[in-house]
Structure 1
Amino acid sequence: MQMRWLAVPALLMAFAGLAQAADCPELLQGSLPKLRAKESIDLCQRFAGKPLVVVNTASFCGFAPQFKGLEALYQRYKDQGLEVIGVPSNDFKQESKDGAETAKVCYVNYGVTFTMTEPQKVRGDDATHLFKILAEQSSAPKWNFYKYVVDRKGKVIANFSSLTKPDNPEFIEAVEKALASKP
């Protein structure tokens, strides 16, 4: 009799896990390794229901100073729930092969506090799942610092080229639209 009562919480937890997986938008299924950390980021657990800015980055790109603008954007809107995810990539041949060097550029040189992952493929058949879905919903990144604004349901509502700075009024408008979206 006692064994049956112990099984009930386990079953409830299993069903809750299934319900959470069903609630997770396709965009956020899976995980990515955090930059210079031993942990992985469960994208659904960490970001489901939150407005996002996803950007592919490169430490040695001429657009790297946009890290400062992305950090300012994150600081301005994080209390309203905005998350920024930086995904370094060497797809355009401007990222270090050394994660420590990438981390130094992001964290030391630019003071980034938003989420950064280890370098990933962001284009083509080898692209990480996150970027495959971003490409399906809009387009693949055409260069480094291509920015996607994602609503609380995991849908891309706008994407911006590398030339669009993080303080651009149209970009800010898209971020505020994502912040206003319903989960």
Structure 2
Amino acid sequence: MRIIMAVLLWMGAGGAWAAPLDTVFANIDGGTIEMSDFRGKPVLVVNTASQCGFTYQYDGLQALYDAYRDRGLVVLAVPSDDFNQELASAEAVKEFCALNFALDLPMADVSRVKGADAHPFYRAVRAETGFVPRWNFNKVLIAPDGAVAGSWGSNVKPRSPKITRQIEAMLP
């Protein structure tokens, strides 16, 4: 199965291996989020869910974004119902995050993060590293050159030194 997915990624990228920054997310506000726009910047991508015990991490994601965005960090929230803990619609997710966390970081539309129907970003990460989110609030750090620089599970908080040390090393 992994070989089939790798071939599909290769074919979908016009004959070249797809990379995480070669993908596009639907934006929760409409339009798209072109990951290629973030080339040259570190990008922390986090699969989120509104009804999860880790939802409090939205505060940490916003604080991380606030601390480093002026130096180039992008934090992208990717709501997902793959673990049956997301609200019923993108509109409900957006309202929940605005009311409870005052988020202004970029947010994708509700997306799949695992399995055969996973978003191309997550398929590219899996092809490159073998990493697949095992729960909500898993984190993937993309280096400015587009390579996967690290991945962490739900228990690693957004402002953990494990994450911030790597981010700081990538910032001017």
| TM-score bucket (shorter structure) | 0.7 to 0.9
Tell me if 1:40 matches 2:40.
Answer: no
Greater gyration radius:
1
Distance apart, 1:128 and its partner CA: 0.6
Q: 1:29 aligns with which of 19, 22, 25?
A: 22
Q: Match for residue 95 of structure 1?
A: 86
Amino acid at match of 2:27: K
- TM-superposition CA deviations, 1:81-125 (whole Å, max 9, x none): 000111000000001121111001222211111110110000011
Deviation at 1:179, TM superposition (A): 2.6
More helix by share: 1
Greater than 2 Å deviation, 4+ residue runs: 177-180
The aligned length equals 155
1:128 counterpart = 2:119:
yes
Please say if residues 26 and 133 of structure 1, whose CA atoms lie closer than 8 Å, have aligned partners that are also in contact: yes
1:39-78 correspondence runs (5 A): 39-44=31-36, 46-78=37-69
Alpha carbon RMSD of aligned pairs, Å? Answer: 1.6
Deviation at 1:30, TM superposition (A): 3.2
Matched, 1:179 2:149: no
Question: Which residue pairs with 1:5 in the alignment?
Answer: none
Query: What is the distance in 1 between the residues matched to 2:83 and 2:171?
Result: 31
Which of 134, 140, 143 is the matching residue for 2:135? 143
Q: CA deviation at 1:137?
A: 2.7
For the 8 Å contact 1:150–1:158, the answer to whether it is kept is yes
Alpha carbons of 1:161 and 1:55: their partners in 2 closer, same or farther (altered >3 Å)? Answer: same
Q: Indicate conservation of the 8 Å contact 1:150/1:178, yes or no.
A: no
Normalising by structure 1, we get a TM-score of 0.80
- The one-character-per-residue Cα deviations of 1:121-150 (angstroms, maximum 9, x if unpaired) are 000111011111122233001100000111
Sequence identity percentage: 34
Q: Measure how far apart 1:42 and its partner are.
A: 2.0
For residues 176 and 142 of structure 1, the distance between their equivalents in structure 2, rounded to whole angstroms, comes to: 26
Change in Cα spacing, 1:157 to 1:38, as seen in structure 2 (3 Å) is: closer
For residues 136 and 154 of structure 2, what CA distance do their matches in structure 1 show? 6
Shift of 1:27: 1.2
Q: Does 2:159 align with 1:167?
A: yes
AA partner of residue 33 (structure 1): A
| Secondary structure class of the residue paired with 2:51 | coil
Alpha-carbon distance, 1:31 to partner: 1.8
